[in-house]
Amino acid sequence: MTEQTKFSVLCSLYTWIQRSKSSAKKRSKFRKFLDSFCRDKNYFAAIRLILPNLDRERGSYGLKESVLATYLIDALGMSRDSEDALRLVNWRKGGAKTGANAGNFAQVAAEVLQRRQGMQSGDLTIKELNDLLDQLASSENRAEKALILSTLIKKTNAQEMKWIIMIILKDLKLGISEKSIFNEFHPDAEDMFNVTCDLKLVCEKLKDRNQRHKRQDIEVGKAVRPQLAKRVANASEAWKKLHGKDVVVECKFDGDRIQIHKNGTEIHFFSRNFIDHSEYRHAMSDIIIQNILVDRCILDGEMLVWDTLLNRFAEFGSNQEIAKAARDGLDSDRQLCYVAFDILYVGDTSVIHQSLKERHELLRKVVRPLKGRLEILVPNGGLNTHRSPGEPCWSFVAHNVDEVERFFKETIENRDEGIVLKDLSSKWEPSDRSGKWLKLKPEYVHPGSDLDVLIIGGYYGSGRHGGEVAQFLVALAERPSPNTHPTKFISFCRVGTGLPDDELDAVVTKLKPYFRKYEYPKKRPPSFYQVTNHSKERPDVWVESPEKSIILSITSDIRTIESEVFAAPYSLRFPRIDRVKYDKAWYECLDVQSFIELVHSSNGT
Ligand code: ATP
């Protein structure tokens, strides 16, 4: 019986899969497990523990590594400043003993547990584990969660507990794709999951591998995995890829991808990972009920915030806050606005097999737009809101590559996220990224000049960069008086990507002798650095003085964001290291004032 199978059996399967080199071997281990231990065909009980990130039955545990660390400390009854407790809290950094495991929380935890748990398995069954995980997800209270964890610890050994931690973190790192697991389970499993996002249903309906299942269509009330866009480098590549097709070019809105499912007065707001965002209900349900002119329907689009004072969409990041303000009846100049760019279901029929051109027609018929609240994105019109003064177009049918290029340039000037090109004859296909939709983003464009910034701190990495500095806190200088060097450096942004590993290593090696640990709140950073108290800023190490440091040239999406995390008034969105400027002295760092001038000139203000 699956449920009575010991969890230790599943742990052996994890280890085998992880150690096997070829995908075929990994799959055959999984098959053997199903055939030997799931004879009663209760596959869900086991598969939800193999694909924990797809299991929606259990809601969220609300436990990321840092929180899990404190709960484990409580559960193990450790003192907060014991060596092992610090090891858990500082899991990214590692130390003399955890060096090899730094960056892998489950592994660090296994080491700490090893010293407290016996080697012997506690005989936990799959059923017991699922029950305890249910309790862990449903309990909201800290003491209760710690108690459940300590029960789990009592019933397992360190290796088993390590896997449970990975289940809780929803990433088993088995080195096998979800596609392979699905295909080995049943040839129709992936398809069915894509249109239902329901692992339990897949496990229950597809018990017989030899019996094929009629292709299931989408249903109102069940999240569908979204159609995705393939990235291209420039307008001509996009145009070439869609050669000979009718192409619509759309603005790429920067919000939350949300599927709205309407069934009478029942409304769901499913995100990309199939979570129903009920917090949108208060602000949006009535509008949806009144302005979608059919009883049942699924819309695909982006949830954004519309600023009624500025008459434009607000920058990404305030959806939750505005949803809560609406729920609490607070007055605001900002409101949620849904932009529907596709329609997947109308009345009692799925329409994903119709062409995009036909679906645009349906959108026009089915949705009555409401300015700044509910908009439709269809070529040449639709949206009531203007893109920018004198530039009302958010979407158009393109006739040549120059039109695409021009639209993309406007996007950059407008500081939008990018553009999406779509084949108007294409179907909407769940989880497809084959190129029916192409995206073009203005990331990493220089804001007219190099941004030469100074490294003032470092953050330890995780995974392959565990235990070493892998990201930097960089700063702008305070403008010095003429003919003097700057004396103050103002924290600006955190940057890690962009450099090849060997170049990153070289910078870290050069700076290593000058890194000083920063143990908040005991030690303040050196006084020539102006920083905030924000926990998101706090680096793990500081460079002991600016003269010892190195200048990096960074680039970014041209959009800046107003910053509370860093001391400078603006920070960068998606910053990236372009080059290490060994030829520049520390005092040649860009100053804040020049940077602000740059921002204003690129904003046109
Ligand atoms: P990205 O970080 O570029 O959004 P992603 O992996 O989240 O990447 P992609 O499928 O690659 O998603 O890009 C499409 C995403 O762009 C959608 O998920 C959606 O959230 C967003 N988007 C914004 N405007 C549009 C639009 N007009 N048409 C399609 N997608 C859009």
- Chain CA centroid to CA 75, Å: 30
State the distance from the centre of ligand 1 to the C-alpha of 339, rounded, in angstroms: 13
Q: How far is the CA of 563 from the centre of ligand 1 (A)?
A: 25
In a shared domain, residues 406 and 489:
no
Closest ligand 1 atom to residue 229 Cα is 10
Q: Does residue 439 line the site of ligand 1, with CB under 6 A?
A: yes
Average pLDDT over residues 186-205: 95
**Could you identify the atom of ligand 1 that is nearest to the CA of residue 272?**
18
- Among candidate residues 233, 229, 245, 172, the one with its CA nearest the CA of residue 425: 245
Please give the pLDDT value at position 409. Answer: 82
- Residue 146 in any domain: the answer is yes
| Per-residue pLDDT at 519 | 67
The CB of 412 under 6 Å from ligand 1? The reply is no
* Gap from CA of 303 to ligand 1 centroid (Å): 12
Residue 605 burial (CB count, 10 A): 6
Q: Is the confidence at residue 443, as pLDDT, over 70?
A: no
CB-count exposure of residue 210 (10 Å: 0-12, 13-18, 19+): exposed
What CATH number is given to the structural domain containing 352?
Answer: 3.30.470.30
Neighbours of 199 (CB within 10 A): 23
Q: Which residues touch 68 (CB under 8 Å, ≥6 apart)?
A: 105, 109, 165, 168, 169
Residues 273 and 362 in one domain: yes
Handedness of CA 241, 273, 304, 556 (dihedral sign): negative
Residue 216 lies in a domain: no
**Residue 450 has what pLDDT?**
66
What confidence score (pLDDT) does residue 331 get?
A: 84
Residue of 252, 357, 427, 581 marked active site = 252
185: in domain: no
469 within a domain of the structure (yes/no): yes
- Position with higher pLDDT, 517 vs 250: 250
Report the alpha-carbon distance of residue 462 to residue 469 in Å, rounded.
9
Tell whether 69 and 148 lie within a shared domain: yes
Ligand 1 binding pocket includes 55 (Cβ within 6 Å):
no
Residues 428 and 458 in one domain: no
Residues 20 and 99 in one domain: yes
Phi, psi (deg, nearest 5) at residue 43? -70, -35
Q: Is residue 219 part of a domain?
A: no
For residues 268-295, give the mean pLDDT.
Answer: 94
Among residues 420, 440, 460, which one ends one of the domains? 440
| DSSP conformation letters of 36-93 | HH-TT--HHHHHTTTSGGG--TT------HHHHHHHHHHHTT--TTSHHHHHHHTTTT
Share of the chain above pLDDT 70, in %: 91
Give the three-class secondary structure for 463.
helix
Q: Is 14 helix (H, G, I), strand (E, B) or coil?
A: helix
Q: How many percent of the chain have pLDDT more than 90?
A: 60
Domain boundary among 125, 152, 168: 168
The encoded tokens of residue 226 equal: 């979204």
The answer to whether 111 and 105 have CB atoms below 8 angstroms apart is: no
Q: Alpha carbon 566 to chain centroid distance?
A: 22
Question: What secondary structure letter does DSSP report for 452?
Answer: E
Residue 458 sits in the same domain as residue 435:
no
Q: Does 129 or 576 have the greater pLDDT score?
A: 129
Q: Clarify whether residues 559 and 490 are in a common domain.
A: yes
Same domain, 42 and 159: yes
Whether residue 284 is found in the same domain as residue 387? yes
253 lines ligand 1 (CB under 6 A): yes
Q: Are residues 404 and 462 in the same domain?
A: no
Instruction: Compute the mean pLDDT over every residue in the chain, rounded to the nearest whole number.
Output: 88
Give 533-566 pLDDT, tens digit per residue.
777 788 989 999 999 999 999 887 656 666 777 8
214 in catalytic set: no
- Ligand 1 mean position, distance from CA 433 (Å): 11
Q: How far is the CA of 253 from the centre of ligand 1 (A)?
A: 8
3 or 381, which is more confident:
3
Model pLDDT, residue 383 = 56
Q: Is residue 215 part of a domain?
A: no
213 within a domain of the structure (yes/no): no
Identify which of 400, 471, 451, 434 has the alpha carbon closest to the alpha carbon of residue 557. 451
Is residue 202 situated within a structural domain? no
CATH code: domain of residue 583? 2.40.50.140
Examine the domain organization and report whether 257 and 295 are in the same domain.
yes
Q: 581 CB less than 6 Å from ligand 1?
A: no
Please report the pLDDT score of residue 600 as a whole number. 67
Least confident span in 61-75, 207-221, 245-259, 401-415? 401-415
Model pLDDT for residues 577-591, shown as the tens digit of each residue: 888 988 888 999 999
Residue 20 belongs to domain with CATH number: 1.10.3260.10
Residue to substitute in 232, 249, 253, 414 for testing ligand 1 pocket (most ligand atoms within 8 angstroms of CB): 253
CA 267/CA 258 separation, integer angstroms? 12
Of 175, 152, 181, the residue nearest 165 (C-alpha): 152
Average pLDDT over residues 1-6: 92
Average pLDDT (492-515) is 89
For 238-244, what is the mean pLDDT? Answer: 94
Residue at a domain's end among 385, 414, 440 = 440
Could you tell me if 256 and 332 lie in one domain? yes
- Give the residue numbers spanning the domain of 83: 7-168
Our count of domains for the chain comes to 3
User: Residue 261 is encoded by which pair of tokens?
Assistant: 């499912």
pLDDT band at 389 (very low <50, low <70, confident <90, very high): very low
